[in-house]
Amino acid sequence: MKTVKKILMVLCILVIIVGMFILGRNGLNYQEGYTQNILLETAKQYTVFMAISTVIILVYFAIRYNKQGVVKVIVTSVLGILGAMAFVLALFAIIKMPITRIFFPIMLATYVSSIIVLTTSFEENT
């Protein structure tokens, strides 16, 4: 089981590397009528609320799972959330999926899913 997890982790890292390379080279694929300015304006609406909720969740994780080490729990949580978001963004770049209004719900679903997976992982280690 540990070998399978390591292989999947390496594959995820490779997807992120390739996706970020493609993203840096070609940029995002915007659908007609949906520009970078609209994307940035929409992102501004989500940023404050996601930042507040992330801080609250990190504080909760630090208190709830303090026996596992506060720094370890916070670093694992931040890397897990950012890694999941980077993975989805890399997949968007690799498959050249157009950026539309569905982009933010997908990213929010990824955010919530990563928090659920982190919680499950921390509970197993308790």
Q: Read out DSSP for 24-92?
A: HHH---BPTT--HHHHHHHHHHHHHHHHHHHHHHHHHHHHHTGGG-HHHHHHHHHHHHHHHHHHHHHHH
Domain of residue 43 covers 2-125
User: For the chain, what percent of residues have pLDDT higher than 90?
Assistant: 29
pLDDT (tens digit per residue) in 52-74: 999 999 999 999 998 888 899 99
Q: What is the pTM of this model?
A: 0.81
Whole-angstrom Cα distance, residue 89 to residue 101? Answer: 15
How many structural domains is the chain composed of?
1
